[in-house]
Structure formats: structure tokens, C-alpha cells
Amino acid sequence: MERQDIEVFLVLAEELHFARTAERLHVSAATISQTIAKLERRFGASLFHRTTRRVELTSLGRQLRDDLQPAHAQIQAAIARAIAAGHGITGTLELGYMSAAVAQVVLRLADSFRDHVPGRRVTIRETALADLFGPLRRAEVDLSVLPLPVEEPDLTVGPVLLSEPAMLAVPADHRLAHRVRVDHYEIARERVFFADTLPGYWIDHHLPAPGRLTESLPGFQEILAYVTSGHGVALVGAQTPHFYPRPGLICIPVEGDAAFDYALVWRTDRLRTIAEAFLRHITPTCSRPAPAQLDPRVNRPPALRGHAPDAARR
């Protein structure tokens, strides 16, 4: 059997659908049918039962699949290792992240990358909210998933991995606690806590209405503590109730299509080959590509989509 014939058979044995197999292998459905027919003539028996409703492996097909899969996986891994070594994709990829919601996305992509490039190691490390850019600048991580906006001339913003709808965190006895959703003008009447690492125009972008009080805090847990104790409110991502549940904390959806975006960021002057390979691998699965209109050396993507930023912080 030729390598292409083996791949056609194994993918069809997994998909059990001729059109999906053709789509995965970037060939026509007729090519898949012709390849399987050729193999069945060679073996003198059917590999698949076909009806108008379904495709199933025959007993011979199951035996051939079970015999071929381990050897094919070893060959694919050997080829991937040779390509990786030939292109200098060596060492360990260090990924940074800064929230539990982002961690799930990062781990899934890391596993996929390891499967695609066998033999490469990927490690992750949590980044403190008070030191978002430090690990990148100290070369402790190659890539870091950070909340937008990133306004740092020495850092480049890449594709968006996660977008979370915005919610308002309030104490359970707050006047808005039983609302289905809130608008920005209601939020603007409140004392709003936010992380002190965020640039000034970020909060302006969230709350375009005048008359607000804002106060920065060093970390997310501190923000939630102040909100739960009744000292104010905070704008948070939609996954906060799931990952950071607290008695007495209520999260209410914010009107509009506002969302917090988290993107891959790296030092403009330092992008290792293994990091480039990771970016190429994960880009098709990203929420959105990097903002094309921005100079990668001076990144000012909006923190919340759907609202025009003020000209300057009041």
C-alpha cells in the first residue's frame, strides 16, 4: 500500500463519511471512492459496508485499521520530528497566561501543538496581574496570553484566543443585583474597581458616560473582595462566576456586544522558531486574527468591541 492509500483508508475509517474524508485530505470524494475501490480489489474483499445512510467498517476493515494505525502513527511522528529538527523547531516553548479561563484554551492548544510536533515540550506559567509584561521582557516566556489593550512599543499583539462578554460584578444586596442586564450609564453611577495595570483610556472605553468614580487595585482577587464586601462594582469577564465563585457576588450581563479580548503577545525583538511554529499551528483555530490595521510595534487594539473610546481620560 502506498502512503496516500493508507491515509485515505485510515481517515475514512475514522470519519465513516466520504465527503468529510475528502474535505480533511483536500481531495475530491471521487478520489476517496477510487482509492478504496482499488484497495478492495487488491484485498479481494470489502473494507466498508456502504448504504445511502451510513458507512461501516467490515471485519476485514477493522482488522486492517487496527494493524495499520500504530505503524502509521510512528511514521508520522518520525516525519514530524525530522521536519521540526530540520527547521530548527527545538527546545521548550514557554507560554504565559493570566486567568483560569485562558488557561483552558492555552492547555488545549499546547496539547494540539505537541501532537503536531512530537518531541517538543510546552510549559505554561501564570502571570501576575501586577506584572503582565514582566515575564515577556525578562524572556521567562516566549508568548503570553494577555488582556487587550496592550499599549507597549516593544511588544507585538498576535491573534485573539478568547473573547468573553462583559459582565458587571456587584454584591448580592446591590440595587442592580436582580437586574437581567445593565447599561453603561447605570454603571457610570457606581464606584468601579479595575486593575491598576490597565492604561487610563481602557476604563474610559468601558464607561463613556460622565460622573463615575474609579479606583485601581493590584489584583483580580482584591477587586472581587472589595466588590463582595460592598465597596463598589467591577467589570469582569463572563466566565468569572464559573472560575471565581464567591458567596454574595452577583454577575450581571452588560448591554451591547462588549467583550474582553485575550491575545497572544510577544517581544517584537524576540520570537523563537518554536514560537513561530506554534503561531502557525494555532492561527486557524483562533477567535480572531491580529488587528491588521495596527502597526505591530505600537499596538492599541480596543479592550471592548462595540464602543467608541473617548479622546482622553477625564
> Of 38, 67, 86, which closes a domain?
86
**Residues 242 and 279 reside in one and the same domain:** no
What CATH number is associated with residue 14?
1.10.10.10
Distance CA 172, CA 210 (A): 25
**49 found inside a domain:** yes
CA 225/CA 143 separation, integer angstroms: 30
Q: Are residues 248 and 231 in the same domain?
A: yes
Closest CA to 262 of 242, 299, 288: 288
Q: Domain check: are 54 and 200 in the same one? A: no
Please tell me whether residues 131 and 203 are part of one structural domain. no
pLDDT of residue 89: 56
pLDDT for residue 211: 46
Q: How far is CA 209 from CA 165, 187, 256, 307, 312, in A?
A: 20, 9, 15, 11, 13
Contact 222, 247 (CB under 8 A): no
User: What backbone phi and psi angles, to 5 degrees, belong to 278?
Assistant: -65, -45
290 is a domain residue: no
**Number of domains within the chain:** 3
Residue 310 inside a domain? The answer is: no
108 belongs to a structural domain: yes
Measured in degrees and rounded to the nearest 5, phi and psi for residue 179 equal -75, 150
Supply the pLDDT for residue 292. 40
Whether 20 and 99 share a structural domain:
no
Q: Which domain holds residue 61?
A: 3-86
Q: 295 in a domain, yes or no?
A: no
In the structure grid, which three cell numbers stand for residue 281, read together?
499551528
Task: Assess contact for 135 and 143: CB atoms under 8 A.
Answer: no
Phi, psi for residue 41 in degrees, rounded to 5: -65, -40
* Cα–Cα distance, 311 to 205 (Å, whole number): 9
Nearest-angstrom CA–CA distance, 120 and 103: 19
- For residues 52 and 178, state if they share a domain: no
- Are residues 14 and 81 located together in one domain of the fold? yes
- Residue 8 is classified by DSSP as H
Q: What is the pLDDT of residue 293?
A: 33
**Could you give the CA distance from residue 167 to residue 309 in angstroms, rounded to a whole number?**
19
Judge whether 24 lies within some domain.
yes
- Assessment of whether the complete model's pTM goes beyond 0.75: no
CATH of the domain at 117: 3.40.190.10
Tens digits of residue pLDDT in 262-313: 899 999 988 888 888 888 888 766 656 554 433 333 333 333 333 333 333 3
Those residues of the chain that have pLDDT short of 70 are: 76-90, 117-119, 195-218, 284-314
Single-letter amino acid, residue 176: L
| DSSP result, 188-245 | TTSEEEEETTS-HHHHHHH--SSS-EEEEES-HHHHHHHHHTTS-EEEEETTHHHHS-
Mark which of 64, 86, 108 sits at the end of a domain.
86
In a domain, 294, yes or no: no
The answer to whether residues 130 and 150 belong to one domain is yes
User: Is 218 in the same domain as 108?
Assistant: no
Does 148 lie in the same domain as 264? yes
Same domain, 16 and 133: no
Considering the domain architecture, whether residues 115 and 66 belong to the same structural domain is answered as no
Q: How many CB atoms lie within 10 A of CB 240?
A: 23
Identify whether 244 is part of a domain. Answer: yes
